[in-house]
Each structure stands twice: as C-alpha cells, then as structure tokens.
C-alpha cells in the first residue's frame, strides 16, 4: 500500500492546478477543497498566498531542472518519453503561463530563476558531452529562457478566464510538434555558415573570443 501523500504536498499539487485553471488570484478555499484540507491548514504549512506561490515557483523550477537534465543525458529516447507524457506537465505549464500572464516583479524573478537553473543543467550537458561550451553561459541561458518562455506566452492558451487542463496536453503536443523540428535544426546545424558576424561583434566589444571555433556546418563536435 502506497504511503499517503503529506498534506503540504497535496496542497502544493492542488495549488499548481487551481492557479493554472483560475489564475493566481484563485481563492485559497478552492485550493483547500481540491487538496481535501481546511483553508487554515494552508496557512499553517505555507503562511500566506505569497509563500504558497513561491513554493509553486520552486516546484516548477525543480520539475524543469529534472526533466531538462534527463533530456540532455538521455538523448533521443528521453525526448520521445517526455513527448509521450504531456499530461503530467500540464499543471506546471499552466502555472508558468499564468505567472507570466500576471507579469510584475515575481514573474521577472521566475524568469531569472529559470535562467539560473538553465546554467546548471546546460553545464551538466557540457560535462556529458551533449552541449557545446559557451563563452557566456549566463547570457546564453538567459536568451534561451527568454526565447522559450516568450514563445510560449505568445501562444497564450491561458488568455481565457479559465484554462482547461484537460485540453492543455493536446495543445502542448500540437505546439511541440510544430516547433521541435525547427528548434533541433537551429540547435544542431548552425543558422549562419560562418562566425564572421560573431568575430566582428567581439572585436568591437569584448576582445578576442577565448573559445575555439565551432565545427564545420552540419558536423557534430
């Protein structure tokens, strides 16, 4: 018999889903009803709505770090496995959409936290030999996160008052199928045929680039 899920974990899972469905202003009593606890128990475990939202932020970062690290280490097999399990990511994706939609300092902080996490799992990929080292790991991670989250926000299935988490997995699959091919091409086959633009930029800003030239177009390092 499986161990019962602790109350604080039930609250956190319920909050991710409820905030994704109804937005970040969803009543805590609805979260409590979803988790099968009293509203007072939410305050007991998390102290306030803001602290509960911070816990939701941390959970999205943990899930992203785990899945990205697994993808970079597991290669194509892990990619296919994650694509086949879209349903389990729906609450996290929905929550991130709501957080970005709300904007403000907390949304900015979440994006910065995603970038910091990306630095770590990209470094894991470098050590595993699946990611090319960067002359600016932090800058690369920030741009990648801004591009990924910005593209997700532009699609914005959460622009409606309520987000249907039952429909979101199908939307995720359709969205992923549309972007995965072009993204993998951009990431594995350089868009530019040489690095003359980068060299010209570096010559006027940061001096010589200490990193070696990348492989010839289309070749793996």
Contact indicator for 145, 118 with CB cutoff of 8 Å: yes
User: Structural domain of residue 159, as residue ranges?
Assistant: 53-188
Residue 94 lies in a domain: yes
Residue 108 lies in a domain: yes
Residue 78 lies in a domain: yes
Residue 40 lies in a domain: no
Q: Which two tokens stand for residue 99?
A: 């957080």
**Domains of the chain: total:** 1
> How much is the pTM?
0.71
Contact indicator for 11, 41 with CB cutoff of 8 Å: yes
DSSP character at residue 213 = P
CB atoms within 10 A of CB 42: 25
Residue 34 lies in a domain: no
Which domain CATH number covers 139?
1.10.357.10
Q: What is the pLDDT along the chain (221 residues), one digit of tens a residue?
A: 456 889 999 999 999 999 988 889 999 999 999 999 999 999 999 999 999 999 999 898 888 877 776 655 555 444 444 545 556 778 888 888 888 888 888 788 888 888 888 898 889 889 888 889 999 999 999 998 888 888 777 766 555 567 777 777 787 778 878 888 898 898 889 899 999 999 999 899 865 455 555 554 444 44
Contact indicator for 35, 10 with CB cutoff of 8 Å: yes
Residue 26 lies in a domain: no
Residue 128 lies in a domain: yes
With the C-alpha atoms ordered 48, 51, 57, 62, is the resulting torsion angle positive or negative? Answer: negative
Residue 64 lies in a domain: yes
Q: What is the DSSP string of 61-98?
A: HHHHHHHHHHHHHHHHHHHHHHHTTHHHHHHHHHHHHH
């Amino acid at each position: 018999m499986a161990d019962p899920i602790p109350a604080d974990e039930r609250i956190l899972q319920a909050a991710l889903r409820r905030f994704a469905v109804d937005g970040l202003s969803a009543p805590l009593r609805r979260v409590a009803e979803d988790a099968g606890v009293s509203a007072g128990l939410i305050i007991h475990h998390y102290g306030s709505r803001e602290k509960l939202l911070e816990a939701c932020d941390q959970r999205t970062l943990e899930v992203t770090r785990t899945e990205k690290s697994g993808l970079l280490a597991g290669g194509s097999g892990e990619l296919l496995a994650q694509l086949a399990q879209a349903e389990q990511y729906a609450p996290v994706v929905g929550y991130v959409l709501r957080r970005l939609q709300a904007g403000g300092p907390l949304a900015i902080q979440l994006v910065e936290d995603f970038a910091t996490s990306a630095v770590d799992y990209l470094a894991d990929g470098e050590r595993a030999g699946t990611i090319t080292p960067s002359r600016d790991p932090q800058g690369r991670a920030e741009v990648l996160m801004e591009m990924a989250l910005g593209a997700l926000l532009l699609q914005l299935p959460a622009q409606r008052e309520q987000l249907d988490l039952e429909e979101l997995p199908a939307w995720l699959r359709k969205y992923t199928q549309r972007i995965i091919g072009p993204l993998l091409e951009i990431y594995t086959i350089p868009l530019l045929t040489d690095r003359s633009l980068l060299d010209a930029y570096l010559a006027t800003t940061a001096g010589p680039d200490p990193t070696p030239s990348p492989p010839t177009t289309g070749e793996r390092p």
